[in-house]
Homo-oligomer: A and B are copies of this chain.
């Protein structure tokens, strides 16, 4: 519809999640027409981000160093690990300021329909972290949907072999949604009211 590079920009923006054709068009025109918008800065960050960002070798959170800021923070409790699906869930929980332990990012949830099984998640790495007996509680904070529940059930069964308290975030999270979209208060309450998994 547009000539050359403008259409290319619209197409490329349209590949981003949650950006439909109209949004892509609106953003492209904003970029083209707004003098104050720093195009080169966004371009530079995009080029840098892939090179600089890696994943924490301990918890799997996004990090620019080998070990992320949370894992290397001496003020964080080393006795509790909160297991989440994605790195963005770490940020959501950090915003509540309810939790001062460490995290473990699984990298997804068990989903037979998408061909994701336990071996595709960072579960082996979790078990290795639990091996030395320092951790006394694992809080399972997977998404309150089908895949998240399946993953939670799988993990809690797996962890019965260890002498570790396994908890799950309290209900209060809207069911069927994504953890990252919960507001801080709801997510904070869910943390406070976490329950022991029956097994």
| Known A48-B5, A50-B32: A19·B27 in contact at CB below 8 Å | yes
Main secondary structure of the interface of A (DSSP, over half): helix
In the bound complex, residues from chain B placing their C-beta under 8 Å from that of A30 are: 16-17
Q: Which of A25-81 contact B (CB under 8 A)?
A: 25-33, 37-50, 52-53, 62-64, 68-69
Cross-chain contact B29 with A87 (CB below 8 angstroms): yes
Residue of B nearest to A62 (CB): B6
Residue of B nearest to A56 (CB): B3
**Number of identical protomers:** 2
Using C-beta atoms within 8 Å of the partner chain, give the interface range for chain A. Answer: 35 or more
In the bound complex, residues from chain B placing their C-beta under 8 Å from that of A16 are: 27, 30-31
Residue of B nearest to A1 (CB): B91
Bound: A62/B31 CA distance, A: 12
Cross-chain contact A49 with B180 (CB below 8 angstroms): no
**A195 on the B face (CB < 8 A):** no
Listed stretches A7-15, A122-130, A159-167; interface member: A7-15
| Known A19-B27, A32-B49: A3·B42 in contact at CB below 8 Å | no
Cross-chain contact A3 with B63 (CB below 8 angstroms): yes
In the bound complex, residues from chain B placing their C-beta under 8 Å from that of A3 are: 62-64, 68-69
22 A/B residue pairs, CB under 8 Å, sorted by A:
A1-B94, A3-B68, A4-B64, A5-B53, A5-B64, A6-B53, A6-B62, A9-B46, A12-B38, A16-B27, A16-B30, A18-B23, A19-B27, A22-B180, A22-B181, A25-B91, A29-B86, A32-B62, A40-B47, A43-B43, A43-B44, A43-B46
